[in-house]
Structure 1
Amino acid sequence: MVPSRRRNENLRALLGEARWTQAALARTVNALGAEIDLELHYDRTAVAHWLRGTRPAQPVPDLIAEAFTRRLGRAVPLAAAGFADDLGGAWGDRLGGFRTPVGTWLTELCSLESDPARRADARLLPYREAELARSARSPAPEPEPETAGGADGAEGGLGVVRLAVRFFSASFDAHGGQGARSSLAAYLADDIAPLLREGGHGARRRGLLVEASRLTFLLARMHQDAAAHGLAQQHFTTALRLADASGDTTARAVVLRGLSAQGLALGHRKNALRAAEAAAACPGASDGPARAFLLSQLAVAQAACGRHRSARASLTRAEEALAAGAGCGAAEPFDAYSSGSLEFQRSEVLRYTGDLPAARSALANSLARRPSADHRGMALSHAQLGEILIGLGYVEESCVSWNSFLDHYAVLRSGAADQAAGRMRKLLTPFRKVPAARLVLQRARAVAAPSGRV
């Protein structure tokens, strides 16, 4: 901590306005740290030190400001929380590129990955719930008018970018988000952003913006997979800017869907539902599998908010959309949605409604329909099935699922899979005297040891 000579009266005033005790603020800061995979153990004595003028190390001041922002329903910058900008720029506000041209901003954001010091700082950006709310309610811009252009003007160079979308999407599914993240960031910064800065109009420009949005969306998911949720949110909102600039409503809807899924995973149910509703309501968003992709997330968000009848209706609409697009042949990653993925979402809806046996059946269907090369999806599905089974009291049967999880986990570099492995150990440890559970725990240690995973 950095000592200061002044008492922090701003912080004291905010505590009074929020009607929080010092212990309540400490608990909230700890919870916000957990959102970005940062383990904090502050208590009321730490808050007392802050009130006396001690400045905690970064990113804690940003977490404190975010805590009051959520509590009071208005933006609380660092200075308002009593943390003067003595570090050459408010740390938590250094990444905020809405006033910067999108090509320039994409370079700045993606270049963080190649700078170890800045990457470490950016990874600790707090997740901002107000940003999720702002994205959910932001109106879709009017698309720019069509302009004349030949075939080369429309497609020149886009084929290579689409190949990159396919490659990085397949890499994420097969290996998790930690493998190709730096490569994707470098490709966006060094190849895509300069093309965006060239400006221009017409079909080729719009196509480039759509593909850039998709690549940025994939990078956001990679950061989300590593539990760097604040940084992932920055990439999601940048992908939204790119989609909006293209005028492609489906591209916009896909990003809103991603923002909804991230927010729901972090417990921000109401705003996650608003984002899912905004995604499903995008005018002209594609039918078929892409439509099913949007409606399935809407169903999960509705179920999480207790709207069970609406969730079932949305699932039915998703099934109809998927069936309508069947038999259309091979599709690009952002145009495809599998029945296995839809069954996974169905299991999520059923878990929120409390029907664990039905959720178990849906997950079994999901696993039967997923391609074996989708190691990340298979691993997380087996992990969820294991958690459901142990919740139902089927310890030995859960171990079968956990063993299948480990088959896929062994080839992954995925933070989400690491977290699932941690939950597995926690759930199975009380049953370590059961032979099947003991063998799974032993195997988990053997799988984790070569890579140094805990």
Structure 2
Amino acid sequence: MSPSRRPNKNLRALLAEARWTQAAMARTVNALAAEIDLDLNYDRTAVAHWLSGTRPAPPVPELIAEALARRLGRAVSPAAAGLSGEPSGPAAGRLPASDTPISTALTDLCTMENEPARRAAARMLPYREAELAKLATEAGDRVPWQRPPRAEPGDPDDLAVIRLAVRFYSTSFDAHGGRTARSSLAAYLADDIAPRLREHPGRAPRRGLLVEASRLSFLLARMYQDASIHGLAQRHFTTALRLADESGDPTARAVVLRGLSAQGLALGHRRIALRAAEAAAASRTPEGPARAFLLSQLAVTQAACGRHRAARESLDRAERAMAKAGRAGTTGPFTAYSPGSMEFQSAEVLRYTGDLSAARTALVNSLAHRSVEDHRAMALSHAQHAEILVGLGHVEEASASWNSFLDHYGHLRSGAADLAAARLRQMLTPFRKLPAASAVLHRALAVTSPSQHP
């Protein structure tokens, strides 16, 4: 840390306006650090040092500014908080401006993953609650439009090749989690997809190319999200949204908004996540798998916000859309929605409404529909099932479900699975004298690491 010679009056004034104690600020900064997979353990003494003029090293000034912005409901920069005269992160970690051409922005963002210095800086970008609010509001205010399809010269097989890539990276994510093949996907987007977007100067890229580019960017965002690197995940979701907007495809746009909603909900931003889910569900998406995908997320966010009747209605609409999807027989990522995923969302709605017994049944149904090769979904479903069983007082049954979680955990490099493993240890430790719980705890300690790497 580098000391400053004068007390930080700006930070003290903002702290007073926020009506925060120094300890409360420290706890919030630690929580925001966890959103980008950074382990910080500040307490009130650290805040006292900042107030006396000490400037913390990056990315802490950005985290402090984001903490204050969320508390005060307005933008706060590190400079306004008296923590830096310039952006606190190295220039290599800054993001392309919003008016940068999408192909250039895609290249700049994706090349960060394969350049160590830029990657380290970019991964420390905080998750911006205000950015989610802005995107949700803009999406709700906009009137969706649809670009008419048109033929353009080019290889008729190139989109088929890109769709194979979408399927490959989606399958890899499902089987192994977000910390596998991420660098490969980033390189593919930067080195192959972005140059295609720049072809034929003066003409807009083909709609199909933009849609597939959006899907690949969406998958990359989910990989970062799964690795608990939420700030950078949010930036990739935003890029995917820009690509979908330029395609004019309302379904592609709605899918990204749904992803932004799910990320926001997972981080505790329930009301804004609901707004994003509402904007996604309001899109001109035809009945079928995509409609079910959007409505199921709307139901979960409504339930999370206490709107239980609306959640049930949205879930019913999603199930009706699923029935039509089943008759249509569509397959593949982004064109189908599995019954296992639908049942998992149903379990989430039921969990938020307090009906744990019904949520348990939905999770059992979800697991019955899953492929054994879908290790990520199987692991997280077993973990959720085990947590519900503990809540119902069935510790031995929960131990069996957690054993199944560990069977799949060994195939994964996933931050979400790591967090589930940490909850396993936390929830079973009080029952460690029970033989079943003790056996699972010993197995979990053998296969999980106390420090996980993104």
SS of corresponding position for 1:56: coil
1:48–1:174 CA distance, 2 compared to 1 (3 A): same
Residue 341 of structure 1, CA deviation = 0.6
What is the alpha-carbon distance in structure 1 between the residues aligned to residue 298 and residue 146 of structure 2?
A: 29
2:78, 2:87 within 8 Å by CA — same for their partners in 1?
A: no
Correspondence for 1:41: 41
| Map 1:358-397 → 2, pairs under 5 A | 358-397=358-397
Correspondence for 2:260: 259
1:69–1:210 CA distance, 2 compared to 1 (3 A): same
Moved more, 190-199 or 357-366: 190-199
1:144–1:379 CA distance, 2 compared to 1 (3 A): closer
| Pair 1:242 & 2:243 matched | yes
Correspondence for 1:423: 423
Moved more, 30-39 or 125-134: 30-39
What is the alpha-carbon distance in structure 1 between the residues aligned to residue 260 and residue 43 of structure 2?
A: 31
1:57–1:426 CA distance, 2 compared to 1 (3 A): same
| Map 1:295-334 → 2, pairs under 5 A | 295-334=295-334
Moved more, 31-40 or 381-390: 31-40
What is the alpha-carbon distance in structure 1 between the residues aligned to residue 91 and residue 17 of structure 2?
A: 25
1:88–1:51 CA distance, 2 compared to 1 (3 A): closer
Correspondence for 1:191: 192
CA RMSD of aligned residues (A): 2.3
| Map 1:113-262 → 2, pairs under 5 A | 113-139=113-139, 140=142, 143=145, 146=148, 148-149=150-151, 153=154, 155-198=156-199, 205-262=206-263
Residue 17 of structure 1, CA deviation = 2.4
What is the alpha-carbon distance in structure 2 between the residues aligned to residue 453 and residue 198 of structure 1?
A: 38
| Map 1:72-91 → 2, pairs under 5 A | 72-86=72-86
What is the alpha-carbon distance in structure 1 between the residues aligned to residue 73 and residue 19 of structure 2?
A: 13
Amino acid at match of 1:276: A
1:191–1:85 CA distance, 2 compared to 1 (3 A): farther
SS of corresponding position for 1:97: coil
1:146, 1:202 within 8 Å by CA — same for their partners in 2?
A: no
1:147–1:410 CA distance, 2 compared to 1 (3 A): closer
What is the alpha-carbon distance in structure 1 between the residues aligned to residue 453 and residue 49 of structure 2?
A: 35
What is the alpha-carbon distance in structure 2 between the residues aligned to residue 315 and residue 304 of structure 1?
A: 13
What is the alpha-carbon distance in structure 2 between the residues aligned to residue 147 and residue 375 of structure 1?
A: 38
What is the alpha-carbon distance in structure 1 between the residues aligned to residue 15 and residue 267 of structure 2?
A: 24
What is the alpha-carbon distance in structure 2 between the residues aligned to residue 352 and residue 329 of structure 1?
A: 31
What is the alpha-carbon distance in structure 1 between the residues aligned to residue 219 and residue 309 of structure 2?
A: 32
2:356, 2:388 within 8 Å by CA — same for their partners in 1?
A: yes
What is the alpha-carbon distance in structure 2 between the residues aligned to residue 350 and residue 81 of structure 1?
A: 42
Encode CA deviations 1:165-209: one digit per residue, 9 max, x unaligned: 000001100111111111001100111111112355879611111
1:153, 1:204 within 8 Å by CA — same for their partners in 2?
A: no
Correspondence for 2:16: 16
Encode CA deviations 1:91-133: one digit per residue, 9 max, x unaligned: 6982253121111111111111111222122212111100001
What is the alpha-carbon distance in structure 2 between the residues aligned to residue 263 and residue 87 of structure 1?
A: 25
What is the alpha-carbon distance in structure 2 between the residues aligned to residue 147 and residue 94 of structure 1?
A: 36
Residue 287 of structure 1, CA deviation = 1.8
What is the alpha-carbon distance in structure 2 between the residues aligned to residue 234 and residue 185 of structure 1?
A: 13
What is the alpha-carbon distance in structure 2 between the residues aligned to residue 299 and residue 10 of structure 1?
A: 42
1:374–1:278 CA distance, 2 compared to 1 (3 A): same
2:92, 2:117 within 8 Å by CA — same for their partners in 1?
A: no
1:62, 1:126 within 8 Å by CA — same for their partners in 2?
A: yes
| Pair 1:351 & 2:351 matched | yes
Correspondence for 1:100: 100
What is the alpha-carbon distance in structure 2 between the residues aligned to residue 307 and residue 154 of structure 1?
A: 49
1:324–1:26 CA distance, 2 compared to 1 (3 A): same
Moved more, 72-81 or 273-282: 72-81
SS of corresponding position for 1:325: helix
Correspondence for 2:293: 293
Encode CA deviations 1:341-396: one digit per residue, 9 max, x unaligned: 11100110111111111110110010011122111000100000011111111111
Moved more, 23-32 or 56-65: 23-32
Q: Percent identity?
A: 70
Q: TM-score, normalised by structure 2?
A: 0.94
What is the alpha-carbon distance in structure 1 between the residues aligned to residue 415 and residue 436 of structure 2?
A: 26
What is the alpha-carbon distance in structure 2 between the residues aligned to residue 136 and residue 342 of structure 1?
A: 24
Amino acid at match of 1:14: L
Correspondence for 2:411: 411
Q: TM-score, normalised by structure 1?
A: 0.94
Amino acid at match of 1:41: N
Correspondence for 2:398: 398
Paired residues, what number? 452
| Map 1:53-72 → 2, pairs under 5 A | 53-72=53-72
Correspondence for 1:269: 270
Residue 327 of structure 1, CA deviation = 3.0
1:147, 1:201 within 8 Å by CA — same for their partners in 2?
A: no
2:61, 2:84 within 8 Å by CA — same for their partners in 1?
A: no
1:265–1:87 CA distance, 2 compared to 1 (3 A): closer
Residue 242 of structure 1, CA deviation = 0.5
SS of corresponding position for 1:48: helix
SS of corresponding position for 1:393: coil
Residue 78 of structure 1, CA deviation = 1.7
1:172–1:349 CA distance, 2 compared to 1 (3 A): same
Specify every segment of 5 or more residues in structure 2 that has no aligned partner in the other structure, as ranges.
none
2:254, 2:280 within 8 Å by CA — same for their partners in 1?
A: yes
